[in-house]
Amino acid sequence: MLIKMVRADFRKNKAITAVLFVFIMMSALLTASGTNMMAEMANSLNALFTKSDAPHFVQMHTGEINHGEIDKFAENNNLVKRNQTVEMILIDGFNIDMGGASAGEKNNVMDHYFMKQNESFDFLLNLKSEIINVSPGEIAVPIYYMQRENIKIGDKVKISSQSFQMEFTVVDFVRDVQMNPSIIHSKRFVVNESDLETLNGDFGTVEYLIEFQLHDLGSLSAFRNAYESSSMPKEGPTIDIHLFKTLNAVTDGIVAAVIILISLLLGIIAILCIRFILLAAVEEDYREIGVMKAIGIGQLEIKKLYVLKYAALGAAASIMGYAGSLFLNHLFTSNITLYMGTAEKGALLNLIPVIAVILVLLFVLFFCFFTLRRFNTITPIEALREGSIGETGKSRLNMSINKRKRLNIHVTIGLKDVLGRFKVYRLLFFVFLISSFMILVPVNFLHTIQSPDFINYMGVERSDIRIDLPQSEQAAEEFRQIVARIGKDSDVERFSATATSRFKVMNSEGIQENMMVETGDFSTFPLEYLKGRAPLRENEIALSYLNSREFEKNVGDTMSFVMDGKTKKMVVSGIYQDVTNGGRTAKAIYPYNPDTVLSYKISADIKPHASIDEKIEAYAGAFQKAKVTGLKDYLLRTFENTINQLKAFTVLAIVVSICISMLITSLFLKMLMAKDRSQIAIMRSIGFCLRDIQIQYATRSMTVLFAGIIAGTAVSNTIGQSLVSFFISFMGAPEIKFVIDPIKAFLLCPLMLIIAVAAAAMINLTSIKRTNIADMNV
């Protein structure tokens, strides 16, 4: 009997059932896809680290090394399982032409390292996750360049200088456990050992990766302290396996989290629809419910009549959503597959999306029972006497029509109905609010990350030109020459020079750790600080957000540093945001020691009459060992992969939101007009024309839409901004402020919603012409 009643209800409300089915299905689909994306990322990341045999601790070093001393240190340390020293040739982008790329790589922010395949561990893999082997004259290119420059197998890579030229054929692409993501400004190319020797003879800038694997990863902190307190080479940053995993996972992890968030929003819309439909059904059946209670049918049995329909609908939609996710998973995980490869998943990982979909279904059923809790207050006598649950009620707001002479009478009637029966329109309002939210948050964040202002979240001063000079034997002299050249350039309006060094700092447990500290002038190009200000005295230091959290320091607290062999107390003057270098940096004006500098940086602003692009070109030619980039290019190269994924997601969010708005508008108007059928018939019988009634209903939907857009905009710029900040806080920027494009955010996006909703309303309002008083039951 129950099944027959459910089937009859489905046939009676086909459109409503179809819309609800779509929403629950989409919510289940995105939930399954998002959780599968996270499971796939974790599984592929572990497989990548396993197949490449990733190092646990890496010390980058520029300068001379003694291989024997390093090996002896490893042998004498019981924590070390094995070690190796990787030699890499650093070649400036000015000397590299990849596949005939128009601008070459001369202004690229990336460091290009050429090396042979490793012998012991830290293997560089191809797209099949196999260890790369190349013959003389062949080269394996990082995946980053395959994507960015559209390089294909068989393309040529030319390396040249004034007296040297060498050409390689691309035979493979590199998956690099250390340097995969675009946010890492270093990339490793694999060449044959004989070719590496040839390059070393003409491009003598050699850098090293001193790598260690430990018996127990839990002893990583102890080993780091042992290494840093030894006399081993340290002219460069240290990186560990935890940071490798974080940097590899951060982009796809954020995308997966956002997909799950969107699925939750769709689920909220679905349960709002169910609530609206359930209350309408209960009101319609109010007397029948009273009769059933009067003859002794229990409340639980009556609830089953209503819940069974949505249980069947939710189960079918959830199954379809999960099935659909199986076909779409490759789209969501394509970037993961490209950069990390694939790996066979265990039964537990395959069950995660299934469990997530089951939770969506249980959430829908729980909300059905929660909505029907008002059955507990219905008495048979009250139901038979009142005949209405009172949810829609009468208008209690007195909006006098004769006082609104400037407004069209039918527009006034529509406004009066919205204000008087706002409970009825809550569903539509919240749907429009959520749709606006789903559109504006991705649009605003995309514009923010593409804006020059995003440099504030990278711990970098905003300037027209950035010049980076890596450490080398001649770096200090070259740095002085560059500073002198820029200081004499009449086209330069202002500039500042800084140097990054590594200092030892005492943590809360009394153990010394290394900290990368940038020293120099921070008043010319000031940063925006979360708390406090830039360092002004030699005993002051500003910390990045993640460093302040890790060391549990706030503005005014002191830290113990070892500088020039002496312990020095430094006062925290400010805390800033930084998503680069693992989010762990610091700034001070303490004089640097050229012997311990890891890199140099010069920031410069160009006078209005001079061309920034021409100046970048001139500096790139003059300072061939430095990387010269403009602000826009620096941002693009750093976040290119993230921006491309965010663009695709933004388009998807806009399309989904518009479809949601149109579907719910159609559903709502159909139900509202069905409820008001007798009222519509009476209006037509007393002389209201079709156009007059359509104006009333169009006014209702458009009024709610405008209110939803306004509320959605406000929520996007507050709660939405906070959500984005929450996700980015794990990278080092906890207080993102949207840079809003007013034309897109306040004109184009609302206009798209308005056009879509207006079209849906006009299509559905044509059904009014079929309503007349002869159809009423009297």
Sheet holding 156-160, edge to edge: 96-98, 156-160, 165-174, 138-142, 186-191, 111-115, 80-91, 206-214, 57-62, 238-240
Beta strands in 395-539 (DSSP E): 465-470, 492-506, 512-520, 529-532
62, β-bridge pairs: 207
Dihedral sign for Cα atoms in the order 556, 557, 558, 561: negative
CB environment 544-559: b (16+ within 10 A), e (fewer): bbbbbbbbebebeeeb
Q: What percent of the chain has pLDDT over 70?
A: 90
Check pLDDT > 50 for residue 102.
no
Please give the residue that has the higher pLDDT: either 331 or 436: 436
pLDDT at position 27 is 86
Placement of tokens 């940038």 in the chain: 518
**CA–CA distance from 122 to each of 85, 131, 223, 252 (Å)?**
11, 10, 19, 23
Nearest-10 crossing angle of helices 299-332, 286-294: 130
What is the average per-residue pLDDT within 469-478? 81
Of 264, 280, 266, 261, residue with least CA distance to 371: 280
Quick: pLDDT tens for 597-612.
888 999 999 999 889 9
CB environment 135-159: b (16+ within 10 A), e (fewer): eeebbbbbbbbbbbbebeeebebeb
pLDDT at position 149 is 81
pLDDT at position 350 is 87
The two tokens of residue 328 are 């779409």
pLDDT tier at 717, thresholds 50, 70, 90: very high
pLDDT tier at 681, thresholds 50, 70, 90: confident
d(CA 495, CA 343): 50
Which of the residue ranges 430-434, 730-734, 743-747, 766-770 would you say has the lowest mean pLDDT?
A: 766-770
Q: What is the DSSP letter of 458?
A: B
Quick: pLDDT tens for 252-297.
777 777 778 888 888 888 788 777 777 777 776 667 777 777 777 7
Dihedral sign for Cα atoms in the order 482, 485, 486, 487: positive
pLDDT tier at 236, thresholds 50, 70, 90: confident
Q: What is the DSSP letter of 537?
A: S
pTM of the model: 0.77
Classified as helix, coil or strand, 121 is coil
Tell me the pairing of strands 586-588 and 529-532: unpaired
Check pLDDT > 70 for residue 395.
no
Question: How far, rounded to the nearest angstrom, does the alpha carbon of residue 205 sit from its chain's CA centroid?
Answer: 37
Give burial (CB, 10 Å; 0-12/13-18/19+) of 688.
middle
Check pLDDT > 60 for residue 581.
yes
pLDDT at position 294 is 76
Tell me which amino acid residue 127 is.
Answer: L
Classified as helix, coil or strand, 555 is coil
Task: Determine the Cα angle at 60 with ends 57 and 64, to 5°.
Answer: 125
Please give the residue that has the higher pLDDT: either 234 or 771: 234
Check pLDDT > 60 for residue 199.
yes
pLDDT at position 754 is 94
Which of the residue ranges 9-18, 241-250, 477-486 would you say has the lowest mean pLDDT?
A: 9-18
Count of residues making up the chain:
778
Question: How far, rounded to the nearest angstrom, does the alpha carbon of residue 635 sit from its chain's CA centroid?
Answer: 16
Quick: pLDDT tens for 125-168.
999 999 999 999 999 999 988 888 888 999 999 988 777 888 99
Tell me which amino acid residue 27 is.
Answer: S
Check pLDDT > 50 for residue 180.
yes
Contacts of 674 (CB under 8 A, 6+ apart): none
Which of the residue ranges 353-362, 482-491, 618-627 would you say has the lowest mean pLDDT?
A: 618-627
pLDDT at position 396 is 46
pLDDT at position 393 is 45
pLDDT at position 544 is 93
H-type helices in 285-375, by residue range?
286-294, 299-332, 334-340, 347-371
Of 273-287, 323-337, 508-522, give the range with the top mean pLDDT: 323-337
What is the average per-residue pLDDT within 723-751? 90
The two tokens of residue 732 are 């080092």
What is the average per-residue pLDDT within 684-693? 78
Please give the residue that has the higher pLDDT: either 494 or 388: 494
Which of the residue ranges 110-124, 349-363, 637-651 would you say has the lowest mean pLDDT?
A: 637-651
Q: What is the average pLDDT value for the chain, to the nearest integer?
A: 84
Which of the residue ranges 114-128, 130-144, 561-575 would you say has the lowest mean pLDDT?
A: 561-575
Whether 624 and 482 have beta carbons less than 8 Å apart is answered as no
Question: How far, rounded to the nearest angstrom, does the alpha carbon of residue 661 sit from its chain's CA centroid?
Answer: 24
The two tokens of residue 178 are 């250390």
d(CA 477, CA 385): 96
Of 48-52, 257-261, 285-289, 649-653, give the range with the top mean pLDDT: 48-52
pLDDT at position 323 is 94
Check pLDDT > 90 for residue 389.
no
pLDDT at position 771 is 56
pLDDT at position 778 is 43
What is the average per-residue pLDDT within 667-676? 78
pLDDT at position 397 is 46
pLDDT tier at 209, thresholds 50, 70, 90: very high
Whether 95 and 160 have beta carbons less than 8 Å apart is answered as yes
Of 89-98, 179-188, 552-561, 583-592, give the range with the top mean pLDDT: 552-561
Give burial (CB, 10 Å; 0-12/13-18/19+) of 693.
buried
**CA–CA distance from 541 to each of 495, 560, 574, 729, 732 (Å)?**
21, 11, 7, 21, 18
pLDDT at position 379 is 64
- Indicate the domain borders of the chain: 1-33+243-325+351-389, 85-215, 400-455+639-778, 473-624
pLDDT at position 377 is 64
Check pLDDT > 70 for residue 1.
no
Task: Determine the Cα angle at 687 with ends 682 and 692, to 5°.
Answer: 90
Check pLDDT > 50 for residue 509.
yes
Of 92, 39, 30, residue with least CA distance to 336: 39
User: Count of alpha carbons within 13 Å of 747, Cβ hemisphere only?
Assistant: 4
Dihedral sign for Cα atoms in the order 366, 369, 371, 374: negative
Please give the residue that has the higher pLDDT: either 376 or 757: 757
Which of the residue ranges 40-49, 225-234, 314-323 would you say has the lowest mean pLDDT?
A: 225-234
